């Protein structure tokens, strides 16, 4: 008897095959991209609401998108499948957790994080800490990722005096205070006809260039 995941693969195969659904059959990776993004946001909303019923449904929709893309890719490469995707994830998790699956001992979270980053860098053959950060991400998420990746570099992301001034103004930093600062920043930008998303993205692209130059790389 097939598992539900196997049934999902079988249903998708029927939808994409002759005699199946014309709409499903004509879809491409590009035409489905927006649905993948939409389903991701819907899953995040279900998480925020703490609605496990909705979360199960939205995660199912995400799984559908993964299976859809796997099926499309398999038509060009027979070795591409949902099983192959899952196998790759299994191997990656085992490879990146030697402290769990081998006798490697780590003494701190910092050492664990450094070991993870080293393994990942070797896997991806990355030259820069900025490699692998999708620049198409929303600007705030892009900023978060770049600043995190470059935390051990000597390339500042912001004016230290401005950051220190903010610390003096708000005192102990909390989620509520950060949220208030972000909202106030967006309000100030809007009052001056400045698109906060665009200017933050532009600044982060400059920051990315500065990081790569500091690493001796060309952008």
Q: How confident is the model over 41-50, as pLDDT tens digits? A: 999 999 999 9
pLDDT tens digits, 165-181: 888 888 888 888 899 99
Max intra-chain CA distance, the chain: 67
| 82 in Cβ contact with 67 (< 8 Å) | yes
Indicate the pLDDT class of residue 6, thresholds 50, 70 and 90. very high
CA-nearest of 121, 139, 141, 137 to 129 is: 121
Return contacts of 154-157, CB within 8 angstroms, 24+ apart. Answer: 154/214, 155/207, 155/210, 155/211, 155/214, 157/207
Band (143; pLDDT cuts 50, 70, 90): very high
156: left (phi over 0), alpha (psi -120 to 50) or beta: beta
**Which pLDDT band, with edges at 50, 70 and 90, does 153 fall under?**
confident
Element (H, E) at 172: none
For the stretch 79-133, pLDDT in tens is 999 999 999 999 999 998 998 999 888 888 888 877 877 787 777 777 888 988 9
Q: How far, CA to CA in Å, does 52 sit from each of 55, 56, 63, 66, 171?
A: 5, 6, 16, 21, 37
Tell me how far CA of residue 212 lies from CA of 118, 129, 181, in angstroms: 18, 8, 29
State how far the Cα of 215 lies from the Cα of 3, in Å rounded to an integer. Answer: 49
Q: Please give the domain boundaries of the chain with CATH numbers for all domains.
A: 4-80 (1.10.287.1080), 97-124 (no CATH), 139-214 (no CATH)
Compute how many other C-beta atoms are within 10 angstroms of the C-beta atom of residue 120: 14
The reported pTM is 0.70
Cite the beta strand spans of 48-133 per DSSP E: none
């Amino acid at each position: 008897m097939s598992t539900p995941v196997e049934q999902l693969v079988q249903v998708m195969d029927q939808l994409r095959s002759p005699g199946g659904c014309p709409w499903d059959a004509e879809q491409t990776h590009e035409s489905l991209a927006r649905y993948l993004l939409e389903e991701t946001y819907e899953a995040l909303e279900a998480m925020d609401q703490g609605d496990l019923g909705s979360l199960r449904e939205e995660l199912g929709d995400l799984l559908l998108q993964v299976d859809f893309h796997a099926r499309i890719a398999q038509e060009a490469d027979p070795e591409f499948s949902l099983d192959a995707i899952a196998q790759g994830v299994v191997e990656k998790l085992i490879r990146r957790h030697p402290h769990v699956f081998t006798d490697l001992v780590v003494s701190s979270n910092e050492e664990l994080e450094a070991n993870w980053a080293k393994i990942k860098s070797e896997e991806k053959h990355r030259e820069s800490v900025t490699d692998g950060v999708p620049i198409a991400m929303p600007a705030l998420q892009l900023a978060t990722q770049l600043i995190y990746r470059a935390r051990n570099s000597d390339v500042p992301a912001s004016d230290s005096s401005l950051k220190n001034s903010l610390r003096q103004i708000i005192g102990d930093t909390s989620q509520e205070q950060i949220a208030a600062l972000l909202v106030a920043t967006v309000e100030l930008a809007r009052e001056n006809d400045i698109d906060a998303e665009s200017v933050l993205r532009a600044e982060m692209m400059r920051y990315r260039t500065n990081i790569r130059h500091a690493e001796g790389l060309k952008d």
